[in-house]
Amino acid sequence: MKRLLWALLLALFLCGCTSGAPVRSSISFTSLDTVVELTVYGRSERFNRKILAGAQELCESYDSIFSRTSPGSEISAFNRSQAGAPLGRETLELIHIALDYGARSGQVFDITIGPLSSLWNFHEGQTRVPTPHELEEALTHVGSGFLYFHDDGSLGKSDPAVQLDLGGIAKGYIADRLGDYFKTQGIENALINLGGNVLALGQKPGGEPWVVGVESPFSQEGALAATLPVTDRSLVTSGVSQRSFTDPQTGVLHHHILDPQTGWPVRNGLASVTIITETSIDAEALSTICFLLGLQDGMALLESTPGAEGIFIKEDGSIAVTSTLKNGYTVNWEGVAPQ
Amino acid sequence: MKALLPKADRLLLAALLLLALGWGLYRFACKAPGSQVVVYQDGQVAASWPLTQNRQLVLEHNIIQSEDGRVFMEWAECPDQICVKTGRIIVSGDMITCLPNRVIVRIEATGTTGGGVDVVAK
């Protein structure tokens, strides 16, 4: 009897050891004009909650700085100003990175598309197509040539109507900062999902890679085009299905990826581009750039960018991927079909 | 014939085995891909997650909490507080509605998503 009681105690002790495994906790909230979902694995629910609350605060503070649509943000103040307004260190850092991407992409990526974004107003769910005259007028205020840096590093603009829109890059920057925050808090396994922009930190606690699904651009019900096992990678998709509307008069689908040269949503046969890189800011900028460049030039850019992978899905349902993606990942194609 | 173990020990052993079996079944049931918590805002899916996950969803005017397979409206900025008074829901098909804020929380049987995917890029 005594011996068995000892065995029972030992068994209970061993059971106790397994509860040392990390606890999974998640939070979802609306911020950054989308639904944010954060999942962390940490030592206890209480500990995780504190970290997640901190992450939510971080998200909201970035939203209040970078947002083009909230009147109190630094970007709004700059956009309203005649010749520029004071910008914080992080805003300037983000603008420098964005301008670099603009230069690298032959200016297809342009953060001065603010006047066009306001006109199309995908943010408010508007369904009105701007007139050619309106677009022409807006285009005269688009171009990074209107921006200049003062000697003290602050940003100025040479045309009062110039407006910044960091929507094509800010979420990537914020996801990376959230990742940094989690790491400083001792979190090694986390999923950051900013409205479909994913940053997978580390891997699953068991040592398996995260499995990330890539949504098909043709599905209304969230069917997947592919699944990829990833470790420490960000996946960002630019596509026609997000933030878009169909013109009731012409039946034409207008999506949010605007060509800064023409002012119209770009049409080049692509339905979506998904980029896989280590940092989310690279994935986000490259997904917009590759969508704007089209399949051929976008693919060429990715092939010459170390560490960047891409999945291009065309409107006809065909798929093209970067050459190293085929070797480095086991992609499970779920089948993609246009409507 | 003399028993290998005294009667008391055999009883204890049986009890332990039963306990282990019960615990195993409980863990298995918890891990089975069961129901999803789906939150709708203005008719759109704002968020969804497995019922087995503990999670807090913070919306503009509502806070929804799922804990140990139960879901409840923790806080709501609305005059009638009907949603908060609804209490906990646990069964597939159950619903909490906050009409003033156009928020619906439902437990639904697992549908198309899932399939071992941790997160979806879109």
Query: Which of A334 and B107 is assigned the larger pLDDT?
Result: B107
Minimal-distance CA residue of chain A relative to B45: A35
For residue A203, what is the nearest residue in chain B, using CA coordinates? B118
Q: Tell me the Ramachandran region of residue A249: left when phi exceeds 0, alpha when psi lies from -120 to 50, beta otherwise.
A: alpha
B117: nearest CB among A28, A56, A224? A224
Beta carbons of A237 and B118 less than 8 Å apart? no
Chain B interface, mutation test: which of A4, A27, A234, most B Cβ atoms within 10 Å? A4
Tens-digit pLDDT profile for residues B64-75: 999 888 899 999
| Res A17 pLDDT > 50 | no
Q: Which residue of A has its CA nearest to B46?
A: A35
Asked if the Cβ–Cβ distance from B58 to A27 is below 8 Å, we say: yes
Mean pLDDT for chain A overall? 89
B120–A196 CB contact, under 8 Å: yes
Tell if the CB–CB gap between B55 and A204 is shorter than 8 Å: no
Q: What is the pLDDT of residue A10?
A: 57
Region B7-34 average pLDDT:
73
The DSSP result for A128-146, as a single string, is -PPPHHHHHHHHTT--GGG
Å between B41 CA and nearest CA of chain A: 11
What's the pLDDT at B86?
85
Predicted confidence (pLDDT) at residue A209 exceeds the cutoff of 60: yes
pLDDT band at B114 (very low <50, low <70, confident <90, very high): very low
> In chain B, what residues touch A11 (CB-CB under 8 Å)?
16
Cα A324 to Cα A322: distance, rounded to the nearest angstrom: 6
By CA distance, what is B15's nearest residue in A? A8
Q: Which residue out of A2, A178, A224 would a mutagenesis test of the B interface target, given it has the greatest number of B Cβ atoms within 10 Å?
A: A224
Q: Which of B49, B60, B121 sits opposite A196 (nearest CB)?
A: B121
Q: What is the pLDDT of residue B3?
A: 65
Q: Walk across the sheet containing A224-230 and list its strands.
A: A332-333, A224-230, A210-215, B119-121
Whether A213 sits inside 8 A of B47 (CB atoms) is no
pLDDT of residue A31: 86
Question: Pairing state of beta strands A309-314 and A270-277?
Answer: antiparallel
Q: SS3 of A157, please? A: strand
Residue A13 in this model has a pLDDT that exceeds 60: no
Residues of chain A contacting B13 with CB distance shorter than 8 Å: 4
Inform me whether the pLDDT recorded for A160 exceeds 70: yes
- Burial of B99: CB neighbours in 10 Å, binned 0-12, 13-18, 19+: exposed
Confidence (pLDDT) at B31: 40
- When mean pLDDT is compared over A33-37, A106-110, B102-106, the highest value belongs to A106-110
Task: Compute the average pLDDT of residues A253-257.
Answer: 87
- Which chain B residues are Cβ-neighbours of A5 within 8 angstroms? 12
Return residues 72-111 of B near A (CB < 8 Å).
none
B99 token code pair: 């009409």
Task: Report the alpha-carbon distance of residue A203 to residue A187 in Å, rounded.
Answer: 11
The secondary structure element, H or E, covering residue A292 is helix A280-293
Q: What percent of chain B is predicted at pLDDT more than 90?
A: 12
User: What's the rounded mean pLDDT across residues A199-214?
Assistant: 92
Residue among A26, A191, A242 whose CB faces B53 most closely: A26
Q: What angle do CA A263, A62, A37 make, to 5 degrees?
A: 90
- The least confident of A100-104, A122-126, A151-155, A309-313 is A122-126
Judge: A196–B13 Cβ closer than 8 Å, yes or no. Answer: no
Query: Does the distance separating the beta carbons of B9 and A237 come in below 8 Å?
Result: no
- Contact between A236 and B59 using a beta-carbon 8 Å cutoff: no
Contact at CB, B55 and A222, closer than 8 angstroms: no
Q: Is the pLDDT of residue A250 over 70?
A: yes
Give residue B113's pLDDT. 40
CB pairs under 8 A between A and B: 101
* Closest Cα in chain A to B122: A196
Pairwise CB contact (< 8 Å): A1 & B56: no
Specify the pLDDT at position A206: 87
Q: What is the mean pLDDT of residues A195-206?
A: 94
Cβ within 8 Å, pair B58-A29:
yes
Q: What percent of chain A has pLDDT over 90?
A: 65
ipTM topping 0.90: no
Check if B47 contacts A (Cβ < 8 Å).
yes
Confidence of residue A2 (pLDDT cuts 50, 70, 90): low
pLDDT > 70: percent of chain A: 88
CB B38 within 8 Å of CB B110 = no
Q: For residue A254, which of A110, A138, A114, A129 has the smallest C-alpha distance?
A: A129
Q: Verify whether the Cβ–Cβ distance B58 to A200 is below 8 Å.
A: no
Minimal-distance CA residue of chain A relative to B55: A26
Query: Are the C-beta atoms of B115 and A194 separated by less than 8 Å?
Result: no
Q: Kindly give, in sequence order, each residue whose CB lies less than 8 Å from that of residue A281, ignoring residues fewer than 6 positions away.
A: A97, A169, A172, A173, A175, A176
- What does the pLDDT average to over A123-142? 86
pLDDT band at A327 (very low <50, low <70, confident <90, very high): low
